[in-house]
Homo-oligomer: A and B are copies of this chain.
Amino acid sequence: MSPVASFDDMAWTDSTCPVARTLDLVGDRWSLLIVRDAMDGARSFTDFQQRTGVARNILTDRLRRLVDRGLLERETATSGRRQVYVLTDAGRDLFTVIVAMRQWGERHAFAEHETHSVLVDESGLQLARLCPTDSHGDPADVGSTTVLRDIRDI
């Protein structure tokens, strides 16, 4: 799949690593919180401001950056009065990253007695646990996988 935006101006931290490129594009707390809120229905500047509590100048910067990088699109609201921000297909595809972060947080960032929000399906039940699997469908983890520097090594 081709990237949705031109990345000609990106100074990649580690240009051949997909993890690093993703982090360069969305790897700061505010960008991913904005994406989280857009997935949860936030559309206007005020929506994002109220939900994240981020300073307005930072929010302005992050929204612009997410638009430039092809994660959000600016649209005019049906009222015709204000601009809203809508996830692009690439932005919506971050759902897997957000779910992975949510599930990790549920497992490791809460004490027993603390409550937290939950992501539920249309039956009102929580999603299944995301489990990386290898090419045979067996569970994969740090110990059973290796990074090859270049796809041509395969």
- Hey, which bits of chain A sit against chain B, CB under 8 A? 1-4, 7, 13-14, 16-25, 27-29, 32-33, 36, 39-40, 52-53, 70, 87, 90, 92-112, 115-128, 130-137, 140-142, 144-154
Q: Given A121-B144, A147-B118, is A100 in contact with B29 using a C-beta cutoff of 8 Å?
A: no
Cβ contacts under 8 Å, A16 to chain B: 115-117
The count of identical subunits is 2
Cβ contacts under 8 Å, A130 to chain B: 96, 100, 130, 132
Q: Given A117-B16, A117-B150, A135-B126, is A96 in contact with B107 using a C-beta cutoff of 8 Å?
A: no
Distance in angstroms between the alpha carbons of A98 and B146 in the assembled complex: 13
> Of B33, B115, B122, B137, which contacts A14 at CB under 8 A?
B33
> Of B19, B117, B127, B132, which contacts A149 at CB under 8 A?
B117
Query: Which chain B residue shows the least CB distance to A98?
Result: B19
Distance in angstroms between the alpha carbons of A99 and B139 in the assembled complex: 13
Known: A7-B111, A13-B33. 7 other contacts (CB 8 A): A1-B108, A13-B29, A17-B36, A19-B32, A93-B104, A96-B130, A117-B150
23 of the cross-chain contacts (CB-CB < 8 Å) are A3-B109, A7-B109, A14-B33, A14-B53, A18-B101, A18-B109, A20-B105, A21-B105, A21-B116, A23-B33, A25-B105, A27-B32, A70-B108, A92-B142, A93-B108, A96-B132, A97-B100, A117-B148, A119-B146, A122-B144, A123-B136, A127-B140, A130-B132
